[in-house]
Amino acid sequence: MIRSVVTGIGSHLPEKILTNRELEAMVDTSDEWIVQRSGICERRIAAEGETTSDLAVTASKKALADAGLGSADIDFIVLATSTPDQTFPASACTVQERLGMHHGYAFDLQAVCSGFLFALATADAHLKAGFGKRALVIGSETFSRILDWSDRTTCVLFGDGAGALVLEAREETGDGARGVLTSHLRSDGRHRDKLYVDGGPSSTRTVGYLRMEGREVFKHAVATITDVIEDAFAATGESAETIDWFVPHQANKRIIDASAKRLGIAPQKVVTTVEKHGNTSAASIPLALDVAVRDGRIKKGDLVLLEAMGGGFTWGSALLRW
Ligand code: UT7
Protein backbone atom coordinates (compact mmCIF):
# COMPACT_ATOMS: atom_id res chain seq x y z
CA MET A 1 0.00 0.00 0.00
CA ILE A 2 1.21 3.54 -0.81
CA ARG A 3 1.78 5.53 2.38
CA SER A 4 2.95 9.13 2.88
CA VAL A 5 6.00 8.79 5.12
CA VAL A 6 7.72 11.66 6.94
CA THR A 7 11.38 11.59 5.87
CA GLY A 8 12.51 15.01 7.10
CA ILE A 9 11.48 17.74 9.53
CA GLY A 10 12.62 21.28 10.31
CA SER A 11 11.40 24.40 12.05
CA HIS A 12 12.31 28.01 12.54
CA LEU A 13 11.50 30.67 15.10
CA PRO A 14 12.17 34.41 14.82
CA GLU A 15 14.96 35.66 17.06
CA LYS A 16 12.98 38.13 19.13
CA ILE A 17 11.48 36.72 22.34
CA LEU A 18 8.53 38.63 23.84
CA THR A 19 8.05 37.74 27.52
CA ASN A 20 4.95 38.05 29.68
CA ARG A 21 6.79 40.69 31.73
CA GLU A 22 7.28 42.80 28.61
CA LEU A 23 3.56 42.45 27.84
CA GLU A 24 2.77 43.82 31.31
CA ALA A 25 4.20 47.13 30.09
CA MET A 26 2.02 47.08 26.96
CA VAL A 27 -1.47 46.09 28.22
CA ASP A 28 -3.26 45.62 31.56
CA THR A 29 -2.14 42.04 32.19
CA SER A 30 0.21 40.03 34.41
CA ASP A 31 2.65 37.20 34.02
CA GLU A 32 0.62 35.32 36.62
CA TRP A 33 -2.68 35.67 34.68
CA ILE A 34 -1.14 34.60 31.36
CA VAL A 35 0.64 31.57 32.86
CA GLN A 36 -2.37 30.45 34.91
CA ARG A 37 -4.93 30.86 32.10
CA SER A 38 -2.87 29.70 29.13
CA GLY A 39 0.47 28.21 30.26
CA ILE A 40 2.32 30.66 27.98
CA CYS A 41 5.55 32.21 29.31
CA GLU A 42 7.01 33.69 26.13
CA ARG A 43 6.51 33.82 22.36
CA ARG A 44 8.60 34.80 19.31
CA ILE A 45 7.87 37.87 17.19
CA ALA A 46 9.03 38.28 13.60
CA ALA A 47 11.38 41.21 12.99
CA GLU A 48 10.26 44.19 10.91
CA GLY A 49 10.19 42.96 7.32
CA GLU A 50 10.49 39.28 8.29
CA THR A 51 7.62 37.50 6.56
CA THR A 52 5.72 34.22 6.71
CA SER A 53 7.59 33.03 3.61
CA ASP A 54 10.97 33.92 5.20
CA LEU A 55 10.17 31.68 8.19
CA ALA A 56 8.81 28.97 5.87
CA VAL A 57 11.92 28.98 3.65
CA THR A 58 14.28 28.49 6.63
CA ALA A 59 12.12 25.71 8.10
CA SER A 60 11.87 24.03 4.68
CA LYS A 61 15.64 24.11 4.10
CA LYS A 62 16.13 22.39 7.48
CA ALA A 63 13.49 19.76 6.61
CA LEU A 64 15.13 19.12 3.22
CA ALA A 65 18.58 18.81 4.86
CA ASP A 66 17.11 16.41 7.42
CA ALA A 67 15.73 14.26 4.57
CA GLY A 68 19.03 14.49 2.67
CA LEU A 69 17.20 16.03 -0.29
CA GLY A 70 17.21 19.20 -2.36
CA SER A 71 14.28 21.17 -3.76
CA ALA A 72 14.80 19.33 -7.10
CA ASP A 73 13.49 16.21 -5.33
CA ILE A 74 10.20 17.85 -4.29
CA ASP A 75 7.14 17.65 -6.56
CA PHE A 76 4.78 20.04 -4.75
CA ILE A 77 4.50 22.38 -1.78
CA VAL A 78 1.47 22.88 0.47
CA LEU A 79 1.78 25.83 2.83
CA ALA A 80 -0.78 26.25 5.60
CA THR A 81 -1.08 29.87 6.69
CA SER A 82 -3.63 32.51 7.62
CA THR A 83 -1.00 35.24 7.51
CA PRO A 84 0.36 35.15 3.93
CA ASP A 85 2.90 37.74 2.79
CA GLN A 86 0.33 39.13 0.35
CA THR A 87 -3.32 38.40 -0.52
CA PHE A 88 -1.86 36.79 -3.63
CA PRO A 89 0.26 35.22 -5.03
CA ALA A 90 0.34 32.34 -2.57
CA SER A 91 3.28 32.53 -0.16
CA ALA A 92 3.94 28.92 -1.22
CA CYS A 93 4.96 30.25 -4.65
CA THR A 94 7.43 32.64 -2.97
CA VAL A 95 8.82 29.68 -1.01
CA GLN A 96 9.03 27.63 -4.21
CA GLU A 97 10.96 30.40 -5.97
CA ARG A 98 13.29 30.98 -3.03
CA LEU A 99 14.08 27.27 -2.81
CA GLY A 100 15.11 27.43 -6.47
CA MET A 101 12.30 25.08 -7.47
CA HIS A 102 11.03 25.77 -10.98
CA HIS A 103 8.97 22.64 -11.53
CA GLY A 104 5.90 21.12 -9.89
CA TYR A 105 3.34 23.24 -8.06
CA ALA A 106 2.86 25.18 -4.84
CA PHE A 107 -0.24 26.52 -3.11
CA ASP A 108 -1.42 27.98 0.19
CA LEU A 109 -4.16 26.45 2.25
CA GLN A 110 -6.09 28.26 4.96
CA ALA A 111 -7.81 26.54 7.87
CA VAL A 112 -6.39 28.75 10.65
CA CYS A 113 -5.09 26.72 13.62
CA SER A 114 -6.14 23.43 11.96
CA GLY A 115 -4.29 24.44 8.79
CA PHE A 116 -1.39 22.06 9.19
CA LEU A 117 -3.69 19.03 9.50
CA PHE A 118 -5.66 20.12 6.43
CA ALA A 119 -2.34 20.55 4.56
CA LEU A 120 -1.07 17.15 5.70
CA ALA A 121 -4.30 15.40 4.65
CA THR A 122 -4.25 17.24 1.29
CA ALA A 123 -0.62 16.37 0.59
CA ASP A 124 -1.28 12.76 1.63
CA ALA A 125 -4.21 12.58 -0.83
CA HIS A 126 -2.15 14.11 -3.67
CA LEU A 127 0.67 11.63 -3.06
CA LYS A 128 -1.72 8.67 -2.95
CA ALA A 129 -3.38 9.93 -6.16
CA GLY A 130 0.03 9.93 -7.83
CA PHE A 131 0.34 13.72 -8.30
CA GLY A 132 3.94 13.43 -7.17
CA LYS A 133 6.40 11.38 -5.15
CA ARG A 134 7.52 13.93 -2.54
CA ALA A 135 5.87 16.94 -0.92
CA LEU A 136 6.92 19.73 1.35
CA VAL A 137 4.18 20.39 3.90
CA ILE A 138 4.63 23.64 5.80
CA GLY A 139 2.86 25.56 8.55
CA SER A 140 4.10 29.14 8.81
CA GLU A 141 2.58 32.16 10.53
CA THR A 142 3.23 35.74 11.54
CA PHE A 143 0.15 36.23 13.73
CA SER A 144 1.90 39.20 15.39
CA ARG A 145 0.90 41.15 12.25
CA ILE A 146 -2.85 40.63 12.75
CA LEU A 147 -2.95 41.17 16.53
CA ASP A 148 -4.53 44.23 18.05
CA TRP A 149 -1.73 45.04 20.50
CA SER A 150 -4.15 47.03 22.68
CA ASP A 151 -6.48 44.01 23.17
CA ARG A 152 -5.22 42.05 26.19
CA THR A 153 -7.67 39.20 25.58
CA THR A 154 -5.85 38.18 22.38
CA CYS A 155 -2.40 39.78 22.06
CA VAL A 156 -0.87 37.79 24.93
CA LEU A 157 -1.75 34.43 23.35
CA PHE A 158 -0.13 34.27 19.91
CA GLY A 159 3.36 34.04 18.43
CA ASP A 160 5.23 33.61 15.13
CA GLY A 161 7.07 30.59 13.71
CA ALA A 162 7.23 27.88 11.07
CA GLY A 163 7.62 24.12 10.76
CA ALA A 164 7.97 21.88 7.71
CA LEU A 165 7.86 18.18 6.84
CA VAL A 166 9.07 16.25 3.83
CA LEU A 167 6.42 13.66 2.98
CA GLU A 168 7.32 10.84 0.61
CA ALA A 169 5.07 8.28 -1.11
CA ARG A 170 6.43 4.83 -0.30
CA GLU A 171 5.26 1.26 -0.60
CA GLU A 172 4.72 0.21 3.03
CA THR A 173 3.33 -3.11 4.22
CA GLY A 174 2.64 -4.98 7.43
CA ASP A 175 1.80 -3.98 11.00
CA GLY A 176 4.72 -1.59 11.35
CA ALA A 177 3.94 0.25 8.09
CA ARG A 178 5.07 3.84 8.45
CA GLY A 179 3.36 7.01 7.25
CA VAL A 180 0.02 8.76 7.58
CA LEU A 181 -2.42 6.04 8.66
CA THR A 182 -5.58 8.15 8.74
CA SER A 183 -6.78 11.78 8.69
CA HIS A 184 -10.13 13.24 9.74
CA LEU A 185 -11.16 16.82 8.92
CA ARG A 186 -14.19 18.80 10.08
CA SER A 187 -15.57 22.31 9.98
CA ASP A 188 -18.73 24.08 11.12
CA GLY A 189 -19.23 27.60 9.78
CA ARG A 190 -21.98 28.37 12.29
CA HIS A 191 -19.16 29.30 14.68
CA ARG A 192 -17.33 31.57 12.26
CA ASP A 193 -17.87 34.73 14.34
CA LYS A 194 -16.31 33.31 17.52
CA LEU A 195 -12.78 33.53 16.13
CA TYR A 196 -12.18 35.71 13.08
CA VAL A 197 -10.25 38.60 11.57
CA ASP A 198 -12.31 41.79 11.19
CA GLY A 199 -10.99 42.63 7.74
CA GLY A 200 -10.36 41.15 4.32
CA PRO A 201 -9.92 42.12 0.66
CA SER A 202 -13.54 41.70 -0.40
CA SER A 203 -15.24 42.99 2.75
CA THR A 204 -13.23 45.90 4.17
CA ARG A 205 -10.28 46.13 1.75
CA THR A 206 -8.05 45.97 4.82
CA VAL A 207 -6.14 43.18 6.53
CA GLY A 208 -7.98 43.49 9.86
CA TYR A 209 -7.27 42.23 13.37
CA LEU A 210 -7.89 38.94 15.13
CA ARG A 211 -11.01 38.88 17.33
CA MET A 212 -11.94 36.00 19.62
CA GLU A 213 -14.57 34.99 22.16
CA GLY A 214 -11.96 33.14 24.18
CA ARG A 215 -14.28 31.35 26.57
CA GLU A 216 -16.51 30.04 23.74
CA VAL A 217 -13.50 28.83 21.73
CA PHE A 218 -12.13 27.15 24.85
CA LYS A 219 -15.37 25.25 25.44
CA HIS A 220 -15.51 23.99 21.86
CA ALA A 221 -11.82 23.12 21.78
CA VAL A 222 -12.24 20.75 24.70
CA ALA A 223 -15.66 19.41 23.68
CA THR A 224 -15.48 18.98 19.88
CA ILE A 225 -12.04 17.59 19.17
CA THR A 226 -12.80 14.19 20.63
CA ASP A 227 -14.98 13.14 17.66
CA VAL A 228 -12.11 13.31 15.15
CA ILE A 229 -9.82 11.42 17.51
CA GLU A 230 -12.42 8.73 18.08
CA ASP A 231 -12.74 8.53 14.27
CA ALA A 232 -8.95 8.11 13.97
CA PHE A 233 -8.98 5.31 16.56
CA ALA A 234 -11.99 3.61 14.92
CA ALA A 235 -10.34 3.74 11.48
CA THR A 236 -7.10 2.16 12.68
CA GLY A 237 -7.94 0.06 15.73
CA GLU A 238 -5.46 2.12 17.76
CA SER A 239 -6.31 3.71 21.11
CA ALA A 240 -5.17 6.11 23.83
CA GLU A 241 -3.16 3.18 25.24
CA THR A 242 -1.38 2.20 22.02
CA ILE A 243 -0.29 5.65 20.82
CA ASP A 244 3.23 6.75 21.77
CA TRP A 245 2.77 10.52 21.47
CA PHE A 246 -0.04 13.05 21.41
CA VAL A 247 1.02 16.25 19.63
CA PRO A 248 -1.94 18.64 19.71
CA HIS A 249 -2.25 22.18 18.41
CA GLN A 250 -0.63 24.45 20.98
CA ALA A 251 -3.22 27.06 21.96
CA ASN A 252 -3.53 26.71 25.69
CA LYS A 253 -2.00 24.34 28.25
CA ARG A 254 -5.37 23.97 29.97
CA ILE A 255 -7.07 22.92 26.69
CA ILE A 256 -4.29 20.39 26.02
CA ASP A 257 -4.43 18.93 29.54
CA ALA A 258 -8.24 18.74 29.57
CA SER A 259 -8.33 17.10 26.13
CA ALA A 260 -5.70 14.50 27.05
CA LYS A 261 -7.54 13.71 30.27
CA ARG A 262 -10.87 13.36 28.47
CA LEU A 263 -9.30 11.01 25.93
CA GLY A 264 -7.51 8.96 28.59
CA ILE A 265 -4.05 9.83 27.20
CA ALA A 266 -1.30 9.62 29.84
CA PRO A 267 0.29 13.06 30.57
CA GLN A 268 3.80 11.77 29.79
CA LYS A 269 2.72 11.07 26.17
CA VAL A 270 1.66 14.70 25.60
CA VAL A 271 4.05 17.07 23.80
CA THR A 272 3.61 20.72 24.81
CA THR A 273 5.56 23.72 23.52
CA VAL A 274 2.94 26.41 24.17
CA GLU A 275 4.92 27.75 27.15
CA LYS A 276 7.78 28.83 24.83
CA HIS A 277 5.99 29.42 21.51
CA GLY A 278 2.51 30.69 22.43
CA ASN A 279 -0.15 29.87 19.85
CA THR A 280 1.54 29.85 16.42
CA SER A 281 -1.65 28.68 14.65
CA ALA A 282 -0.84 26.44 11.64
CA ALA A 283 2.84 26.30 12.64
CA SER A 284 2.29 24.91 16.12
CA ILE A 285 2.07 21.18 15.31
CA PRO A 286 5.16 20.95 13.04
CA LEU A 287 7.06 23.13 15.54
CA ALA A 288 6.10 20.82 18.41
CA LEU A 289 6.90 17.72 16.32
CA ASP A 290 10.34 19.11 15.52
CA VAL A 291 11.07 19.83 19.20
CA ALA A 292 10.06 16.28 20.20
CA VAL A 293 12.05 14.68 17.34
CA ARG A 294 15.18 16.75 18.11
CA ASP A 295 15.11 15.99 21.86
CA GLY A 296 14.81 12.27 21.08
CA ARG A 297 11.25 11.66 22.27
CA ILE A 298 9.64 10.84 18.89
CA LYS A 299 11.53 8.01 17.16
CA LYS A 300 11.13 6.11 13.92
CA GLY A 301 8.21 3.68 14.25
CA ASP A 302 6.41 5.63 17.01
CA LEU A 303 2.66 6.07 16.73
CA VAL A 304 1.90 9.80 16.80
CA LEU A 305 -1.55 11.34 17.18
CA LEU A 306 -2.05 14.93 15.93
CA GLU A 307 -5.07 17.08 16.66
CA ALA A 308 -6.06 20.72 16.13
CA MET A 309 -9.01 23.07 16.36
CA GLY A 310 -9.32 26.65 15.18
CA GLY A 311 -11.26 29.43 13.47
CA GLY A 312 -14.14 28.46 11.22
CA PHE A 313 -14.53 26.42 13.37
CA THR A 314 -12.26 23.86 11.77
CA TRP A 315 -10.82 20.81 13.48
CA GLY A 316 -9.08 17.60 12.60
CA SER A 317 -6.87 14.70 13.56
CA ALA A 318 -4.19 12.55 11.97
CA LEU A 319 -2.55 9.37 13.15
CA LEU A 320 0.84 8.51 11.73
CA ARG A 321 3.62 6.06 12.28
CA TRP A 322 6.81 8.12 12.35
O1 UT7 B 1 -6.06 28.11 18.48
C2 UT7 B 1 -7.43 28.03 18.67
C3 UT7 B 1 -7.91 29.35 19.06
N4 UT7 B 1 -7.68 29.80 20.37
C5 UT7 B 1 -7.88 29.12 21.52
O6 UT7 B 1 -8.01 27.94 21.56
C7 UT7 B 1 -8.00 29.94 22.75
C8 UT7 B 1 -9.20 29.51 23.55
N9 UT7 B 1 -9.43 30.25 24.75
C10 UT7 B 1 -8.56 30.35 25.78
O11 UT7 B 1 -7.46 29.85 25.70
C12 UT7 B 1 -9.01 31.04 27.04
O13 UT7 B 1 -10.41 31.25 27.00
C14 UT7 B 1 -8.29 32.39 27.31
C15 UT7 B 1 -6.85 32.14 27.69
C16 UT7 B 1 -8.39 33.26 26.06
C17 UT7 B 1 -8.96 33.12 28.47
O18 UT7 B 1 -9.04 32.30 29.62
P19 UT7 B 1 -10.42 32.19 30.42
O20 UT7 B 1 -10.15 31.42 31.63
O21 UT7 B 1 -11.45 31.66 29.46
O22 UT7 B 1 -10.70 33.69 30.82
P23 UT7 B 1 -11.91 34.62 30.43
O24 UT7 B 1 -11.91 34.95 28.99
O25 UT7 B 1 -13.15 34.02 31.02
O26 UT7 B 1 -11.54 35.93 31.24
C27 UT7 B 1 -11.46 35.95 32.67
C28 UT7 B 1 -11.13 37.36 33.10
C29 UT7 B 1 -12.03 38.42 32.47
O30 UT7 B 1 -12.32 39.39 33.46
P31 UT7 B 1 -13.76 39.40 34.19
O32 UT7 B 1 -14.76 39.53 33.08
O33 UT7 B 1 -13.84 38.07 34.87
O34 UT7 B 1 -13.63 40.56 35.11
C35 UT7 B 1 -11.14 39.04 31.42
O36 UT7 B 1 -11.46 40.38 31.14
O37 UT7 B 1 -9.79 37.69 32.74
C38 UT7 B 1 -9.78 38.95 32.05
N39 UT7 B 1 -8.69 38.96 31.10
C40 UT7 B 1 -7.42 39.26 31.42
N41 UT7 B 1 -6.84 39.62 32.57
C42 UT7 B 1 -5.52 39.85 32.57
C43 UT7 B 1 -8.75 38.63 29.78
N44 UT7 B 1 -7.51 38.71 29.23
C45 UT7 B 1 -6.67 39.11 30.22
C46 UT7 B 1 -5.30 39.35 30.28
N47 UT7 B 1 -4.77 39.71 31.47
N48 UT7 B 1 -4.50 39.21 29.20
Confidence at residue 109, expressed as pLDDT on a 0 to 100 scale: 98
Q: Is 17 helix (H, G, I), strand (E, B) or coil?
A: strand
Asked whether the beta carbons of 196 and 321 are under 8 A apart, the reply is no
Q: Are residues 226 and 154 in the same domain?
A: no
Distances (CA, A) of 17 to 29, 69, 160: 18, 31, 10
Same domain flag for 254 and 224:
yes
* Tens digit of each residue's pLDDT (9 = 90 or more) over 224-246: 778 999 999 999 999 999 999 99
Contact 114/56 with Cβ under 8 angstroms?
Answer: no
164 and 120 inside one domain: yes
Full residue range of the structural domain in which residue 72 is found? 2-171
Ligand 1 neighbourhood includes 52 CB (under 6 angstroms):
no
Summary mean pLDDT of the chain:
97
Q: Are residues 274 and 293 in the same domain?
A: yes
pLDDT at 175: 84
Last residue of a domain, one of 171, 197, 220: 171
Give residue 83 CA to ligand 1 midpoint distance, Å: 23
User: Which of 107, 142, 171 marks a domain boundary?
Assistant: 171
7 and 131 part of one domain: yes
Single pTM value for the model: 0.98
Is the Cα dihedral 192, 196, 199, 202 positive or negative?
negative
Q: Is the pLDDT of residue 81 over 90?
A: yes
- Both 141 and 233 in one domain: the answer is no
Report the residue count for the chain: 322
Q: Is 12 a catalytic residue?
A: no
The count of domains in the chain is 2
Question: What tens digit of pLDDT does each residue of 124-174 get?
Answer: 999 999 999 999 999 999 999 999 999 999 999 999 999 999 999 999 998
> Measured in angstroms, how far is the CA atom of residue 295 from the centroid of ligand 1?
32
Same domain? For 55 and 95 the reply is yes
Q: What is the arithmetic mean of pLDDT over 187-199?
A: 97
Average pLDDT (289-308) is 98
Statement to judge: residues 68 and 19 lie in one domain = yes
Residues 261 and 163 in one domain: no
Report the pLDDT value the prediction gives residue 200, as an integer from 0 to 100: 97
48-75 pLDDT tens trace: 999 999 999 999 999 999 999 999 999 9
Last residue of a domain, one of 110, 142, 171: 171
CATH at 51: 3.40.47.10
Residues 71 and 208 both lie in one domain: no
